[in-house]
């Protein structure tokens, strides 16, 4: 069972970093982070999203 899970899943963090290299994906990620911040006021989650963008965004 564990082998099946390992073979059929991907690394979320690695996929997120890769997706942030795309301008449209990065824009969508920031828009969702801002919407969630406006809904729940979780500034730590919003700051994490900004950190991810600043660290991994490639022109």
Q: What is the pLDDT of residue 26?
A: 93
Rounded to whole angstroms, the Cα distance separating 41 from 58 reads 28
pLDDT in tens, 1-58: 567 777 777 888 889 999 999 999 999 999 999 999 999 999 999 999 999 999 987 6
Residue 53, classed as helix, strand or coil, is: helix
Domain residue limits, the chain? 11-56
- pTM (predicted TM-score): 0.77
CB atoms within 10 A of CB 52: 18
Helices (H), the chain: 2-7, 12-19, 23-40, 43-56
């Amino acid at each position: 069972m564990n082998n099946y899970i390992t073979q059929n899943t991907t690394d979320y963090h690695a996929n997120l970093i890769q997706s942030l290299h795309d301008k449209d994906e990065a824009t969508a990620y920031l828009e969702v982070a801002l919407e969630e911040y406006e809904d729940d006021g979780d500034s730590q989650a919003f700051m994490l999203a900004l950190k991810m963008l600043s660290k991994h965004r490639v022109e």
